[in-house]
Amino acid sequence: MSQHQNKNQFEITGRLHEVLAEQQVSDKFRKREFVLDLGGQYPEHIKFQLVQDKTSLLDSFAVGTEIKVEFNLRGRMFSKEGTTTYFTNLEAWRIKPADPQPQAVAAARQPNAQL
Q: How far apart are CA 16 and CA 108, in angstroms?
A: 27
Query: pTM (2 decimals)?
Result: 0.76
Give the mean pLDDT of 46-73.
Answer: 95
**Looking at residue 8, what is its pLDDT?**
82
Which domains does the chain carry? 2-109 (2.40.50.140)
Phi-psi domain of 19 (left: phi exceeds 0; alpha: psi -120 through 50; beta: other): beta
Q: Which residue has the higher pLDDT, 106 or 49?
A: 49
Q: What is the pLDDT of residues 61-74, one digit of tens each?
A: 999 999 999 999 99
Residue 114 above 70 pLDDT?
A: no
What pLDDT digit, counting tens, does each position of 4-29 carry? 556 789 999 999 999 999 999 899 99
